[in-house]
Amino acid sequence: MRAAPIGMFGLTTVLVLASGLWGMSGGVKAADPTRPLLVPGYEAAKDVPNMKELPDPKTDYKVVFADGQEAKNPTDINPMLPTIATYLNTLGKFGVPAEHRHLAIMFHQRNPDLDIVMTNEAYKARYHRDNPNIAIIHALKQAGVDIRVCGQGLLARKIDAKDVNPDVQIDLWAMTTLVNMQLKGYVRVG
């Protein structure tokens, strides 16, 4: 039996729950809007009056994003990547230290959008245009996000390992990675 994919409402709910403040009142630092963004070019979540369920600097955030989405337009960035950048920037804005931020993304679809893990040169050879995801993938990696791709998906898409972006780790199979990470305490989103 297959679980239904998490929609935008479900994604928001999971991210809030993963924020780890179940019933906490007090002790959480206020957001610091002067803190530099961990992923430049992407905002943190905007403050809301009387907001609750804030990121807690004492919580160990272990989140794996399972990405099977594709961009509506081949020249667009994969829609999950800006969401991850915003989430990471929000954690940073609320003072969650690097040692408490354990974020990963697993690309696992077997459709043309998996090709976003290719180097720009390989992507350009296949599609005759630049890979629009190169910059954000690199920025997420620089900010500490663990970026992975399903090896079985690479085989299905006929992508050679040498053509995979060096910022992306090749795993045997997304199923194995996602199960292993959840057994290690990661919350799965997507």
pLDDT digits (tens, 9 = 90+) for 123-166: 999 999 999 999 999 999 999 999 999 999 999 999 999 999 99
What CATH code would you report for 62-190? 3.40.1260.10
pLDDT in tens, 50-100: 999 999 999 999 999 998 778 888 789 999 999 999 999 999 999 999 999
Task: Count the Cβ atoms, other than its own, within 10 Å of residue 102.
Answer: 18
**Domain extent listing, the chain:** 62-190
Determine the pLDDT at residue 104. 98
Q: Are 97 and 57 in contact (CB under 8 A)?
A: yes
pLDDT in tens, 60-74: 999 999 987 788 887
Task: Report the first-to-last Cα separation within the chain, whole angstroms.
Answer: 16
HSE-CB for 157 with a 13 A CA cutoff: 26
Residue 42, classed as helix, strand or coil, is coil
Q: Are 33 and 83 in contact (CB under 8 A)?
A: no
- DSSP notation for 91-119: HHHTT--GGGEEEEEEE---SGGGGGGB-
* Radius of gyration for the chain, computed over Cα atoms and rounded to the nearest angstrom: 17
Q: How far apart are CA 185 and CA 172, in angstroms?
A: 20
